[in-house]
Structure 1
Amino acid sequence: MAKNGPTIAEIGEFPLIRSLVRDLPSDPAVSLGPGDDGAVFLVDGSAVISTDVLVEGVHFRRSWSGAQDIGRKSVAVNVADIEAMGAAPVAMVIGFSAPADLPVSWAREFMTGLREEAARARVAIVGGDTTAGPVVTVSVTVIGQTAGIAPVRRDGAAPADIVAIKGRLGWAAAGLVVLGRGFRSPRVVVEAQRCPEVAYGAGRQAALAGAHAMIDVSDGLVADLGHIAEASGVAIDIDQARLDIPDPLRTVGMATGLDPITWVLGGGEDHALAATFAVGEVPDDWQVIGRVLDSTEQTEPTVLVDGRPWEHAGGWTHF
C-alpha cells in the first residue's frame, strides 16, 4: 500500500468509477446518468456542445494546485465556453487519464472539485471514461441549451457597438507569475490561477440583453477580441482607461517590476466574457471597455488599444 493510501491501479478501474460517481446529484433533464453505455437527457431548443482538454504540465501542475482545484478548474473552463454562446449548461461528461500509481485519494479529491464546481455552474455530471496515461489528463465535454433564443456567435459585432466585459482580467496571469517565482502570495491571484472565477449565468444574461457577439476570454483580451474582429470583419478599440487594475495586480507588478496592464490585456485563464452590444443595451453590471469602430475609422479587422496596435503579447497560443 502506498504512503497516501491505495493507488488507482490497486483499487481497479470499475471500483474507482463506482466510488467517484456514487450519489451524484440528479437533474430533471437527465433520465439516465452514469452506469450505462451512454447518458440520456433532454435539451430545450438547440444544443450547444464544447470540449476542453487539460494536460498536466501544460494547463496545471500538481505541485501548484490541489486535486480539488484541478477538478473545479476542469468544469469552469469548459462551462465558460457554453456561457459565451449565450446558452445554459445542462450535462457534462469527463474523460480522465492518469498514471497507475496515482493515489485513489487524489482522484477522490479531484471528483470533489468537479462536484462543487458543477453545482455552482448548475450542470449535471452524466458520465465519462477513465484510462491509464503518463500524466493526469482531463477532457471535459459540456452540452448546453439555448432555450428559445439564438446562440450568440463571434461574427455578429457591428460598427458602433459597445464592447463590454463581465468577470476578472489579469488575475490568473499574475498568479502564474507569482507561482513561477516560487511564491504563494498574494493568495487571491494564486487562487485565480488554480481555478478561475466564472460569472455563471452572465452569458445567458448577455444573450437576453441582445448581445451581437460574445467570446470567452481564455487566451487574453486582445487575442480573443481579435477573434470577434476577424469573424465579424470589424475593428475594435479598447479604452485602456476603462480597464481596472485591482490592488493585488498592482502589488505583484511592484514586486516583479512588470506592468500589470500586460496581464489585463494579454493574460488568459480568467475566463471572463467579452461581448458587443448595441448602444443602450449593455447590462448594468457589465463593464464597458471600448467600442467597435465604423468603416470610416478603420477598415481592416483588428484590435487597437487607445487607437494604436498593442505592441506586447496579445495572448496565449498552444503551438
Structure 2
Amino acid sequence: MKNIDISSIGEFRLIDMIKNQFADSKDNKNIVAGIGDDSFCFKSGKNNICITKDMLVEDVHFKKDWTNPQEIGRKSIEVNVSDIAAMGNVKPEYAFIGLGLPPKTSEIFIKNLYKGFKKACDKYKMAIAGGNTVRADKTIISVTIVGIGIGRERVIKRNGAGIGDLIGVTNTFGDAGAGVALLYKYGTKHKYNKYEHFLISKQNNPKARLKEAQKISKHLTSLTDASDGLYISVDLLAKDSGKGAEIYMDKIPVSSSLKKVFREDKKRLDLALFGAEDYELIFTVPSLKAKLLKKLVPHISYIGKIDSSKKVKYFYDGKEQKIKYLGYKHF
C-alpha cells in the first residue's frame, strides 16, 4: 500500500477517510449527527447533546502582532459557538480549554487570554468547566464546547436539503478574508481608515450567529456555518444532501466597507467566496418559508437554490462561470 502525504489528499478527504474508518458508529441509535458535521450530537434522555472541538494555532489562525490576547481568547470561544449554532436551536453550556504554550509565554499574556475566554463565555452564560495545559513550540488553543438542545426541536444537519429549496445566508461575506489580506499587505504600523478597520475587526473579533440560528432553525432543511468560506460551505451542503446547487454570484451580500476598500467586482467576489472565518450561517429552506425567515431575521439574503444535478454551478449576470478554488488549504 502506497504511503501518501496528507498534503496530497487535503483536509476534507482526510475527514472522509476518518469518517469511513469509524462508519460502524452509525449503528449507535443514540447518535443524531456523527463525524463530519459541525458538531457531534447524541440523544441523552429527552435531550440532544451537541459537542464540538476547534483549534486555533499561532501563525495559522492568529498572529500575536495582529491581535491582542483578549481578542484571541474571545475568538477561540466564538468560533466554537458558531459550530454549535450550526446545529440549530442549541444552547452552549460548558467550555473545556486546552492550551499548548511555549515556556517563555508571559503571565500577563495568559491572564489576558483568560479574560477573553471569560468575556465570551459570560456573553453566552456558559461555564468554563476544565481543560489542560502542555508545552508547545507555538501557542495552540483547543476548545471543546458542550451544548444542549432547547426543547424538543430536532438538530439541523447538513444533509437535509431538498430539490427546490432556497439557499440562504446571514449578513455579509468576505470581510474577514479582506481583513487578513490587509494585514498581510500592510502589517500593523499602517494607518488604516475606518473601512479597513471594520474589515480587520471582522477577522479579529468574529461573532457567532447563535441567536439567528435559534430563531430560524425549525424551518430549515440543512444548516452549516461559513468557517471555511462560502464556496466550501455550499459544496458541503449540496454534497452531504446528495444534491446540486445554483449560486447567483450577484446576489451574494457584501458589506459597504468591502466595496469601499476593494473596488473590483472580481476581487470582492473572490473574497466573498473563498475568504474564510466569516462565521455566518448558510442554510436551505423551502421557498414557501423564505418570507417568514426574512421577518424573523431581516439580514438574510437568498443566493441560490438546490437542484438535482449533484454539481454546484455559479452564475453571474445570468451566465455560468468557471470557478477555481482560491481559498486557504491546511494541507
TM-score interval, normalised by the smaller of the two chains: 0.7 to 0.9
Residue of structure 2 in register with 1:130 after alignment: 133
Residue of structure 1 in register with 2:289 after alignment: 281
Give the AA of the match of 2:325.
A
Distance 1:191 1:288, change over 3 A: closer
Deviation by residue 1:288-318 (Cα, 9 ceiling, x = unmatched): 33333433xxx22324344635524254331
Mapped partners of 1:58, 1:44: distance in 2 = 40
Mapped partners of 2:165, 2:112: distance in 1 = 44
**Which of the numbers 180, 185, 189 marks the counterpart of 1:176?**
180
Residue of structure 2 in register with 1:291 after alignment: 304
Structure with bigger helix share is 2
Residue of structure 1 in register with 2:163 after alignment: 159
* SS state at 1:281 partner: helix
Question: Could you tell me whether the CA contact under 8 Å between 1:220 and 1:316 is conserved in 2?
Answer: no
**Which of the numbers 259, 263, 267 marks the counterpart of 1:259?**
267
* SS state at 2:183 partner: helix
Mapped partners of 1:309, 1:82: distance in 2 = 33
Distance 1:54 1:240, change over 3 A: same
Residue of structure 2 in register with 1:245 after alignment: 254
The answer to which of 272-281 and 191-200 deviates more is 191-200
Mapped partners of 1:144, 1:217: distance in 2 = 19
Residue of structure 1 in register with 2:244 after alignment: 235
Identity of aligned pairs, percent? 26
Distance 1:270 1:139, change over 3 A: same
Residue of structure 2 in register with 1:142 after alignment: 145
Question: Could you tell me whether the CA contact under 8 Å between 1:234 and 1:292 is conserved in 2?
Answer: no
Pair 1:316-2:316 in alignment: no
Residue of structure 2 in register with 1:215 after alignment: 224
Structure 2 residues without counterparts, runs of 5 or longer: 1-43
TM-score (normalised: structure 2): 0.77
Q: CA RMSD in A?
A: 2.1
Mapped partners of 2:57, 2:133: distance in 1 = 14
Structure 1 residues without counterparts, runs of 5 or longer: 1-41
Distance 1:127 1:44, change over 3 A: farther
Residue of structure 2 in register with 1:51 after alignment: 53
Residue 136 of structure 1: how far off its partner (Å): 0.5
Question: Could you tell me whether the CA contact under 8 Å between 1:88 and 1:201 is conserved in 2?
Answer: no
Mapped partners of 1:308, 1:314: distance in 2 = 18
Give the AA of the match of 1:213.
S
Mapped partners of 1:224, 1:179: distance in 2 = 25
The answer to which of 267-276 and 141-150 deviates more is 141-150
Pair 1:191-2:194 in alignment: no
Mapped partners of 1:97, 1:168: distance in 2 = 33
Question: Could you tell me whether the CA contact under 8 Å between 2:238 and 2:306 is conserved in 1?
Answer: no
Deviation by residue 1:142-167 (Cα, 9 ceiling, x = unmatched): 11112311110000000110111113
Distance 1:188 1:49, change over 3 A: same
The answer to which of 76-85 and 196-205 deviates more is 196-205
